[in-house]
Amino acid sequence: MKKILSLFLIVLFVSAPLSAQQRNTAANANEVLIRNATVLTAARGRLEGTDILIRAGKIAQIGKNLRAGANAQTIDATGKFVTPGIVDAHSHAAVDGSVNETSYSVTSMTRVHDVINPNDINLYRALAGGVTVLNVLHGSANSIGGQNATIKIKWKRPAQDFLIPDAPPGIKFALGENPKRSHSTLLPGQTRRYPATRMGVEETIRDAFVRARDYKAEWDDFREKSKRDKNLTAPRRDIELEPLVEILEGRRLVHSHGYRSDEFLMLLNLADEFGFKVKTLQHGLEAYKIAPEIARHGAAASIFVDNWGYKIEAFDAIPYNAAILYRNGVSVSINSDSNERHRRLNLEAAKTMKYGDVPEEEALKMITLNPATQLGIGNRTGSIEVGKDADIVIWTAHPFSPYARVERTMIEGETFFDREQDVQNRAALAAERQTLERDEANRPSTSPRATQPAVPRERVKADLDDADDIDGGNNR
């Protein structure tokens, strides 16, 4: 009886609600207070000498002379700038060589999130550049490519922790030279893949949506009839068409690669024909020519600022593209289309102030709130506002200065890049690398022709959007 009573008291003690003091202690352990910073909110202007209180991964308060609990982490940001984390609306980091499934014109059944590599060193470098969110896209070898993955760069975590669970799903489309592939060199005996013209690219997309519309009608009919007859056999699932049905139903976002204004107009007209919206026009070097039409459709643009001329369809560009689109009411973001260039997007945004006098906050939005909104996550990240995720970057100077460096990058209140810690670790990392290289050089070779195995080096690649391995370096 005494044992039973003791067990009951233990259970009662463990299950008893925490006291107010215990609750406050637990909350304080999850608090971070950033003090006395110049805060560029990307939503409500510039705030001088301002504090930010982070609690349980969210921005809890913004103001002056804020108070935090005794166990809170306090960061003195006097003389420094604080911004939202940078959001790259078109990235190819974390997928290694799994960028283009080139075998078919339509590969909507493939999924980028199945092949996320959380150990890609470019992710850490992105954090060092203030990047917190990536839209990892399939390449542009297909009229309709694979499904995207919207991730937060939670370095050293498993791949599943990177995925943003409530981010709307998206998919990659492509127009122009890359999907028609008439410029690619065929091996002897190889048959050229359809389509080989711009007309064929449009037809491929239209054909896919005709099939998706019929597939949707078949399932809608089955669901309606099965309410009365439970013995009906369901239609066969088609994982190629299911993502396209989600587009027709407004549940999947379309991000379309392209350059020429006539091709973008073609896609917008096709979308109107089938009753769906194109979310973003990617690259969009000629988007300035059709800015009113883009705004009327409700699409956004995710562009380069002054990078063009690397192939014939990327020739007719101007550096005022962002300013013209912005002044026509188009949401503009600036992307990397890379696994490397994302760490300099702050300087890309600065260029829009030079070319077209884009206001400072609007320029900042082009790498923070605008891309977050384009990805359907603007309600949780992209600006410094109470209630949003604490995705925050602390800079040594104004982020539009070429001399600015990232001191700290935080995702949901947790530090994933700390420059001071990074500097302290460099000597140890250099010594570890030296040891590994020495051991590798001393390892017996398995090849009769090799005298010494080569030291592994990082594979350097150009931009991955255009299957550069396949197309001989024809990028973007």
Q: Which residues of the chain have pLDDT under 70?
A: 1-29, 442-476
**In 3D, which of 239, 257, 252 has the Cα closest to residue 139?**
257
Domains of the chain, each with CATH number or no CATH: 30-84+382-418 (2.30.40.10), 86-379 (3.20.20.140)
pTM: 0.88
Neighbouring residues of 128: CB distance < 8 A, sequence distance ≥ 6: 343, 406, 409, 417, 419, 422
The per-residue pLDDT for 292 is 98
Per DSSP bridges, beta strands 280-283 and 300-303 are: parallel
The per-residue pLDDT for 444 is 66
As to burial, measured by CB atoms within 10 angstroms (0-12 exposed, 13-18 middle, 19+ buried), residue 370 is buried
Residue-wise pLDDT tens digits, 181-237: 877 788 888 888 999 999 999 999 999 999 999 999 999 999 999 999 999 999 999
Neighbouring residues of 104: CB distance < 8 A, sequence distance ≥ 6: 142, 193
The per-residue pLDDT for 259 is 97
Neighbouring residues of 40: CB distance < 8 A, sequence distance ≥ 6: 46, 81, 82, 83, 360, 361, 364, 384, 399
3-state secondary structure at position 38: strand
The partner residues of 35 in beta bridges, in order of sequence, read: 76
Return the biggest CA–CA distance within the chain.
Answer: 88
CA angle, residues 269, 274, 277, in degrees to nearest 5: 70
Displacement of CA 283 from its chain's centroid (Å): 15
Q: Euclidean distance between the first and final Cα of the chain, in Å?
A: 76
